[in-house]
Chains A and B, each alone.
Chain A
């Protein structure tokens, strides 16, 4: 997600939320957005020009309210038409801007249009479309449809805020009808759908609204919200995943059940742990939530391949590694297991001992359905070199390794580095207390979300 590449509505939302987390509120971004549209209008029209701002009741409408306030302050002749019922403004930051405007009775004329019959053409010099923004799906309904029609049939200069209303900002499709703008001022970066809808956008200006670049670099709440899976009341067991964890040995019992329990906590429906039999019994005793698959013997070996193949076929994702140990038998078995999983093309996460079993990776062994989660020492084992202490250098090392191996690589550390070979993201959450043996495992379990 480089600043210049087009954004999907989901990516735009991630940036807003991460920005909020970093200390730049959505209200501040809204202020900058609205002001940038006011600036674009001010360069084309002067004080005394008439401006009619059409606002929806959501955030795009909130941007429009800011435009109206700034233009009123610059002595434009401003009218604001709310398309909808003001009692349905629920977003606190939109409400805050709405109330600010309501108190500007001397400089802004406000019309609340709850019904499409209240909307008619106008002879304003400028029309601002702040009815609907990014992420809108489905055909337009009244009174919004009527608002689009009266904007289009008016003669003035038409400015769309972020996206012309009626354009799906992701796909570029027209949702029944859409505003035909002369100018679209879009925020932070262009949107994926705008290129396809070029006929509706007119000139496209990209306005910087003060999102910190770090919002696209560091993992934040927006990234978590974006991957959360919604559940419907009629969903059934297994619909949210069957995870298979292959791990454990006589020596290390604890690691694989921890991963399994973490996966439950992230919302995975069913978690199976395949482990050598004594370990498997111990795992079942740890928690009644865990279903164990008992492999005869003391450690993972080629004799288990048939059982594991069946389990792999039934799983929606597989974790290999925690607590396996590194006996010669296990190393051989791990490489065969990884082959089988690769053939199945199922999401695979390789951690801990299984990483050491890989040895130095010299060619493209994986694709993007595989994630490797080494700490520094394991990264050295698979890349052949000690990761640099310098974060910039380390980032490029992880990126280069991800590109070479084909796998998404997460190097754990005081700052985690995550790369798919093209993109690099960092994560700064966590603390030194987490370096206790076994804590690193959580990255695994959590990922199953």
Chain B
């Protein structure tokens, strides 16, 4: 939003990024997550959001 993106689209993307960052953090730390663990994964999800596909598909099995 601060960068001038339409708010609805930013909200949808933000929800995905937040959750996906949390999932990547969980891969590393299990359920022993702290808020700062998520932070570190935000850039990875933003640069390559498709990296979450593997986790998505594993969750379905």
**Contact residues of A with B, CB < 8 Å?**
17, 20-23, 219-221, 223-229, 240-243, 254, 258, 261-263, 265-268, 315-317, 347, 349, 368-371, 373, 408, 410, 416, 418, 420, 423, 425, 427-434, 436, 438-439, 441-449
- Name the CB-closest residue of A to B25: A433
Known contacts A258-B36, A410-B11, A418-B8, A449 near B3 by CB under 8 Å: yes
Contact B57 A23, beta carbon cutoff 8 Å: yes
Chain A nearest CB from B36 CB (Å) reads 7
Cα(A254)–Cα(B39), bound, Å: 13
- CB-CB under 8 A from B7, the residues of chain A are 347, 368-371, 408
Contact B49 A224, beta carbon cutoff 8 Å: yes
Chain A nearest CB from B35 CB (Å) reads 4
**Contact residues of B with A, CB < 8 Å?**
1-23, 25-26, 30-36, 38-40, 42-43, 45-46, 49-50, 52-53, 56-57
- Name the CB-closest residue of A to B34: A436
- Name the CB-closest residue of B to A20: B50
Contact B19 A408, beta carbon cutoff 8 Å: no
* 19 A-B pairs (CB sep. < 8 Å): A219-B13, A220-B49, A221-B52, A226-B13, A261-B36, A262-B39, A268-B2, A347-B7, A368-B7, A410-B11, A416-B15, A418-B11, A418-B12, A418-B15, A430-B20, A446-B18, A446-B21, A448-B1, A449-B13
Known contacts A21-B56, A408-B7, A371 near B1 by CB under 8 Å: yes
Contact A262 B42, beta carbon cutoff 8 Å: yes
Cα(A429)–Cα(B21), bound, Å: 9
- CB-CB under 8 A from B13, the residues of chain A are 219, 223-224, 226-227, 446-447, 449
Contact A433 B31, beta carbon cutoff 8 Å: yes
Known contacts A221-B49, A442-B18, A263 near B35 by CB under 8 Å: no
Choose one: A241, A438, A449; the contact of B46 (CB below 8 Å): A449
Known contacts A242-B2, A370-B7, A449-B5, A434 near B14 by CB under 8 Å: no
